[in-house]
């Protein structure tokens, strides 16, 4: 019998646009895909939604969000997903980008269900057990 881990979440990314090249959608997908967890039939899927909003002071607020989905067959270690998530902020920081918000639901069949959230007070992801 196969064991699946189902993943669904979103991560909001901000990048400071002053005098630096903006990340492309391809750049962000490449960062997220590097070392991403894999099941026996494939890995996570990333959909990127880039936005740009001009604030009332005329400052452009960019970047956007990354939707993460996946059904990882024969994969049951949700902590490996958390480790992969914890490796994302340093990659983004190299481009003066940061995680603003995030929530990722991880459901291991016949096992734990957790939500991983971004904690801006600690600049790290935190696991919340779902009862």
Instruction: Domain ranges for the chain, please list them.
Output: 4-129
In this prediction the pTM is 0.90
Quote the CA–CA distance of 28 and 106 in Å, as a whole number: 21
Residue matched to tokens 């603003």: 100
Other Cβ atoms within 10 Å of 37 Cβ, number: 20
Look at the alpha carbons of 26, 31, 32, 35 in this order and tell me if their dihedral is positive or negative: positive
pLDDT value at 17 more than 80: no
CB 6 within 8 A of CB 70: yes
Mean pLDDT of 12-24: 80
Fold observed for domain 4-129? Alpha-Beta Plaits (3.30.70)
Mean pLDDT of the chain: 91
**117 forms bridges with which residues in the sheet?**
103, 126
């Amino acid at each position: 019998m196969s064991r699946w881990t189902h993943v669904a979440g979103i991560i909001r990314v901000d990048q400071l646009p002053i005098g630096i090249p903006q990340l492309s959608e391809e750049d962000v997908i490449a960062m997220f895909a590097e070392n991403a967890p894999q099941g026996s039939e494939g890995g996570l899927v990333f959909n990127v939604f880039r936005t740009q909003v001009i604030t009332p002071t005329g400052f452009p607020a960019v970047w956007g969000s990354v939707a993460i989905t996946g059904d990882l067959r024969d994969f049951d270690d949700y902590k490996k997903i958390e480790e992969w998530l914890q490796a994302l902020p340093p990659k983004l920081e190299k481009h003066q980008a940061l995680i603003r918000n995030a929530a990722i639901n991880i459901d291991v069949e016949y096992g734990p269900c957790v939500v991983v959230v971004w904690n801006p007070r600690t600049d790290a992801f935190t696991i919340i057990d779902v009862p």
